[in-house]
Amino acid sequence: MPVPSPPLPTRMLYFQMVIMAGTVMLAYYFEYTDTFTVNLQGFFCYESAYRKPYPGPEESSAVPPVLLYSLAAGVPVLVIIVGETAVFCLQMATRDFENQEKTILTGDCCYINPLVRRTVRFLGIYAFGLFATDIFVNAGQVVTGNLAPHFLALCKPNYTALGCQEFTQFVGGAEACSGNPDLVMKARKTFPSKEAALSIYAATYITMYITHTIKARGTRLAKPVLCLSIMCMAFLTGINRVAEYRNHWSDVIAGFLVGISIAVFLVICVVNNFRGRQPEHEQSHMDNLGQMSMISIPRVEHSVVKNHLTAFAEVT
């Protein structure tokens, strides 16, 4: 007797879990292994762009990695859980609660509550984007091998042995540096800025979530203030990287572009601006309207249809 294959939603769920696991593993290999060799970019003798003083380890920064990663991982999770819980509780009081999105993820055996489904979906996409941002940044750093502003302070090149008699003389190769190899290798990975990319990704994702989800009255100023505050903290993180001589301006701008691009793509193309699935009765109603000729629709019904569509657009 042939074994029945799992339903399509279950197979798609397994496929998504494999993609997520692969993304996490790739980010791990980029971050903690030497699988990918960093490009050894050379420099000119006494080049002023790389002669800034060493600002100390990352832990001594005004925005240390522990604080940055905690905020990037914790704040969006908290905001999405609170926001989805509030939206779900408000929808329970409406007459259209039975028409809200409902999804069977594993066939007929397991019904997933809309609150749980939406929360897991938004958080899962956010986590995927976070790892994807890390992969993009690490790939750029490995390929370019761009030098940090304080590179020469860690490299400690022996200019006499290298024969640096002119500023225009180019020096290349790993043997040019006599400093700590681990610190020197870390100083070769600055483009794009990982801190700038992760901070702006988290800020953009959560800002778009707040903008598209919170529809309560009286939030015309509250939402912009909250969103601009979150974006401001992300931009200050990038500015701090430049002020502490840990990154160049080009590194920070490139990190901003990577983080914003990934967040906007995921929000618009993957989670559809955080909107739920359109109820079936309204979907069939819209399909019928699309099949009708525009000439056959009376003018008196035009405003009714327009108001109906406008009302539906406000439902998240």
Check: CB of residue 69 under 8 Å from CB of residue 59: no
The total domain count for the chain is: 1
Query: Is residue 74 situated within a structural domain?
Result: yes
Q: Is residue 129 assigned to a domain?
A: yes
Question: Domain for residue 128, yes or no?
Answer: yes
With a cut of 70, say whether residue 7 has pLDDT above it. Answer: no
pTM recorded for the entire structure: 0.81
222 found inside a domain: yes
Kindly indicate the confidence band of residue 111, based on its pLDDT and cuts at 50, 70 and 90.
low
Q: Residues 139-160: pLDDT tens digits?
A: 999 999 999 999 999 998 887 7
Q: Is the pLDDT of residue 189 over 90?
A: yes
Confirm whether 154 is domain-assigned: yes
Least confident of 44-53, 106-115, 216-225: 106-115
Chain segment 199-256, per-residue pLDDT in tens: 999 999 999 999 988 876 766 788 889 999 999 999 999 999 999 999 999 999 999 9
145 found inside a domain: yes
pLDDT digits (tens, 9 = 90+) for 81-108: 998 888 888 777 665 555 554 444 444 4
Q: What is the pLDDT of residue 95?
A: 52
In a domain, 144, yes or no: yes
pLDDT higher than 70, residue 293: no
27 vs 172 pLDDT, higher one: 27
* 10 within a domain of the structure (yes/no): no
- Domain hosting 136: range is 43-94+112-274
